[in-house]
Amino acid sequence: MQVVTTIAGSDSGGGAGIQADLKTFQELKVFGTTVITALTAQNTRGVSGVLPIEAAFVKQQLQALLDDFSISAVKTGMLFSSAIIHTIAQIIADTNIPLIVDPVMIAKGGESLLQQEAIDAIIHYLLPIATIVTPNIPEAETLTGKKINTIADIKKAADHLLATGVHCAIIKGGHLADATNATDYVFFKNGQAFSMQTPRIATKNTHGTGCTFSAALTAFVGRGLTIKEAIIEAKKFIQLAITHDLALGHGHGPTNHFAYQNDKKSCEVTIYES
């Protein structure tokens, strides 16, 4: 049994954050461990409160895991402050555990999950030690300081991110204005690139899509798949979770973390090598 870790915020509504990560890990048969950076009071309608955890206690949680478990992959989600980011980066830099960074910034309802001053810390401390970074389009724009309107802009943003030292950048296309497909763009430091496409599902129940995708990626990396295999399988996991969405709550409902195990053979991802 492989052990993986999520360093993220708690979503009381259960669709994103630590809760989405643990559900995904469980479905993908890896043993999930957690470092909690913040509590959020949240449901499918939005975030009504954030209570950050002190950086010193974040450190204590992570150190407790590293002192005991052999961890095969780590992911980060909501990190909230530069103090938390510095603390995590310092500790992870001394390991050789693959690190997947989901640079969570803003919740679907528009509430901030990362302080403005922490953006630089992600760029300068976390990305240089990361294996994979998974921004959505607005996050890629914030990290690179450049607007993204075209595929050429996506490639430029990826080059910008790869220059920090991260091995692979996945720019997720959930926010692109394409009513037919959901396309994600993958770039490696060695110049290899591909995009992956699935049919776009017409639903408002997409709370936690980014967390769930990056958690699946972490589980597959932890299980020893190649990075490319892990990315494609994670895309299947999120596609099925959105296809079989759960209309729970009154706002943006969660994705269905059970769907991949029930239906994985039915999901096709189209790959375009470039």
Ligand X SMILES: Nc1ncnc2c1ncn2[C@@H]1O[C@H](COP(=O)(O)OP(=O)(O)O)[C@@H](O)[C@H]1O
Ligand Y SMILES: Cc1ncc(COP(=O)(O)OP(=O)(O)O)c(N)n1
Active site residues: 172, 206, 208-211
Piece of the chain touching ligand X by CB under 6 A; list 53-61, 70-78, 82-90, 203-211: 203-211
Q: Which does 173 bind (CB under 5 to 8 A by kind): ligand Y, ligand X, none?
A: ligand X
Handedness of CA 99, 93, 104, 111 (dihedral sign): positive
Q: Which does 238 bind (CB under 5 to 8 A by kind): ligand Y, ligand X, none?
A: ligand X
**Integer Cα distance of 108 and 39 in angstroms:** 17
Q: Is 256 in the site for ligand X (CB under 6 A)?
A: no
Q: What phi-psi label fits residue 145: left (phi over 0), alpha (psi between -120 and 50 degrees) or beta?
A: left
Q: Is 216 in the site for ligand Y (CB under 6 A)?
A: no
Q: How far is CA 10 from CA 50, 62, 78, 93, 235, in A?
A: 9, 16, 9, 24, 23
b/e per residue, 191-227, with b = 16+ CB within 10 A? Answer: eebbbbbbebbeeebbbbbbbbbbbbbbbbbbbebeb
**Integer Cα distance of 257 and 61 in angstroms:** 26
Binding mask 61-100 for ligand X (x = CB under 6 A): ----------------------------------------
Q: Which does 119 bind (CB under 5 to 8 A by kind): ligand Y, ligand X, none?
A: none
**Integer Cα distance of 6 and 21 in angstroms:** 7
Q: For the CB of residue 239, give the shortest distance to ligand X in the complex, in Å.
A: 6
Binding mask 182-201 for ligand X (x = CB under 6 A): x-x-------------x-xx
- CA R_g for the chain: 17
Q: For the CB of residue 173, give the shortest distance to ligand X in the complex, in Å.
A: 5
Piece of the chain touching ligand Y by CB under 6 A; list 56-64, 104-112, 220-228, 266-274: 104-112
Q: Which does 182 bind (CB under 5 to 8 A by kind): ligand X, ligand Y, none?
A: ligand X
Beta strands in the chain (DSSP E): 3-11, 31-43, 46-52, 71-76, 99-101, 132-133, 168-171, 181-188, 193-199, 270-273
Q: Is 142 in the site for ligand Y (CB under 6 A)?
A: no
Q: Is 249 in the site for ligand X (CB under 6 A)?
A: no
Binding site for ligand Y (CB under 6 A): 8-11, 16-17, 40, 42, 77-78, 104, 107-108, 113, 207-211
Binding site for ligand X (CB under 6 A): 136, 172-175, 182, 184, 198, 200-201, 206, 209-210, 213, 235, 238-239, 242
